[in-house]
């Protein structure tokens, strides 16, 4: 069950019932007449990131300039949305992404996912392809994508102390380079991640995909982007490796590459 109401510049979509009820904050930019036939841009943030981040805002500014529709939102437990961060899982955040896109109801979309948002984008692609009447995915731009990061990047590298913390407390913490607060990874997130794996065969996208990946990324090593590329149809996939790029890819030159990739996919 869902319902929506508006705040200044923000639309709030209420999802779920009882203890699972949460308010999801969205910024929905309508297309102008010159962009009405083009796909809407959908921003999918990374873990602990939100729709007011540099790349998300730059995407929205590009949409405004080009007359395109744009959709940004915060997952529950992030940014301006309600709900507890500790309750978050890939399935929960995917449900929210799907609800937001269905609420905005564009005919076609370009999914733009950063880090964990790349995983959400790939799962959203799969879910949108199941139901008649849902938006068609016209393209994807993935920035330092982290599909299956719980099973591919976290679980194999757990220390004994972290395993003990997961077993006894249901979560473990690690230092964050981007916040004074530590990153928190829950047992629920890790277990749910196994049910949302996408790197298990060819991912039939049916649309062009452009991946941007920094080679100095210590959070999601570029080898992970290479692995994802192996699971995508070669004819519709472009991988740009940025030799001096880090995980955030938010420098002016990185933003220029991002907007160029979005333009190429939108106009493909």
pLDDT mean over 5-18:
81
- How many Å apart are CA 103 and CA 131, to the nearest integer? 15
Question: Which residues does 22 contact at the CB level (< 8 Å), separation at least 6?
Answer: 14, 15, 16, 76, 81, 82, 83
Which H, E and C letters describe the chain, residue by residue? CEEEEEECCEEEEEECCHHHCEEEEEEEECCCHHHCCCCEEEEECCCCCCCCCHHHHHHHHHHHHHCCCEEEECCCCCCCCCCCHHHCCHHHHHHHHHHHHHHHCCCEEEEEEECHHHHHHHHHHHHHCCCCCCCEEEEEEEECCCCCHHHHHHHHHCCHHHHHHHHHHCEEEECCCCCCCCEEEEHHHHHHHHHCCCCCCCCCCCCCEEEEEECCCCCCCHHHHHHHHHCCCHHHEEEEEECCCCCCCCCHHHHHHHHHHHHHHHCC
pLDDT beyond 80 at 1? no
Provide CATH code, domain 2-148+207-266. Answer: 3.40.50.1820
pLDDT beyond 90 at 132? no
- Rounded percentage of the chain residues whose pLDDT exceeds 90: 86
pLDDT mean over 107-133:
96
pLDDT mean over 250-262:
98
Q: Which pLDDT belongs to residue 268? A: 87
pLDDT mean over 3-15:
77
pLDDT beyond 80 at 189? yes
User: Quick one: tokens of 75?
Assistant: 């997952």
- Identify whether the C-beta of residue 142 lies closer than 8 Å to the C-beta of residue 212: yes
Mean pLDDT across the chain, nearest whole number?
94
pLDDT beyond 70 at 5? no
- How many Å apart are CA 61 and CA 82, to the nearest integer? 25
Given pLDDT bands bounded at 50, 70 and 90, which one contains residue 235?
confident
Could you tell me the strand order of the sheet in which 108-114 lies? Answer: 2-7, 10-15, 22-29, 70-73, 40-44, 108-114, 136-143, 209-214, 237-242
Which is nearest to 49 in space by CA: 219, 228, 192? Answer: 219
- Please give the model's pTM, rounded to 2 decimal places: 0.94
- Give tens-digit pLDDT for 13-57: 999 988 889 999 999 999 998 888 999 999 999 999 999 999 999
pLDDT beyond 70 at 114? yes
Q: Which pLDDT belongs to residue 185? A: 94
Which is nearest to 132 in space by CA: 111, 107, 109, 110? Answer: 107
Q: Which pLDDT belongs to residue 178? A: 74
pLDDT beyond 70 at 75? yes
- Give tens-digit pLDDT for 173-188: 988 777 778 889 999 9
pLDDT beyond 70 at 2? no
Q: Which pLDDT belongs to residue 176? A: 76
pLDDT mean over 98-118:
97
pLDDT mean over 145-163:
96
Q: Domain map of the chain by residue range?
A: 2-148+207-266
- How many Å apart are CA 55 and CA 61, to the nearest integer? 10
Q: Which pLDDT belongs to residue 131? A: 82
């Amino acid at each position: 069950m869902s319902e929506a109401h508006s705040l200044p510049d923000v639309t709030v979509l209420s999802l779920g019932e009882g203890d699972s009820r949460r308010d999801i904050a969205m910024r929905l930019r309508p297309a102008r007449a010159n962009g009405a036939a083009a796909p809407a841009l959908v921003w999918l943030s990374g873990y602990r990131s939100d729709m007011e981040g540099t790349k998300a805002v730059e995407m929205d500014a590009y949409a405004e300039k080009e007359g395109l529709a744009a959709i940004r939102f915060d997952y529950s437990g992030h940014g301006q949305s309600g709900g507890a961060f500790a309750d978050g899982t890939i399935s929960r955040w995917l449900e929210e992404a799907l609800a937001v896109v269905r609420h905005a109801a564009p005919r076609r979309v370009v999914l733009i996912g950063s880090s964990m948002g790349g995983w959400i984008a790939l799962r959203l692609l799969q879910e949108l392809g199941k139901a008649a009447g849902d938006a068609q995915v016209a393209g994807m731009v993935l920035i330092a994508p982290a599909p299956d990061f719980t099973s591919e990047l976290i679980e194999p590298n757990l220390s004994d102390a972290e395993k003990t913390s997961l077993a006894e407390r249901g979560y473990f913490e690690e230092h964050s380079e981007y916040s004074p607060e530590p990153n928190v990874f829950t047992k629920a997130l890790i277990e749910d991640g196994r049910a949302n794996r996408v790197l298990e065969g060819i991912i039939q996208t049916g649309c062009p995909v452009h991946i941007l990946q920094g080679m100095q990324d210590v959070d999601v090593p570029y080898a992970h982007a290479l692995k994802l590329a192996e699971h995508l149809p070669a004819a519709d996939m472009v991988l740009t490796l940025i030799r001096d790029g880090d995980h955030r890819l938010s420098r002016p030159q990185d933003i220029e590459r991002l907007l160029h990739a979005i333009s190429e996919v939108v106009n493909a």
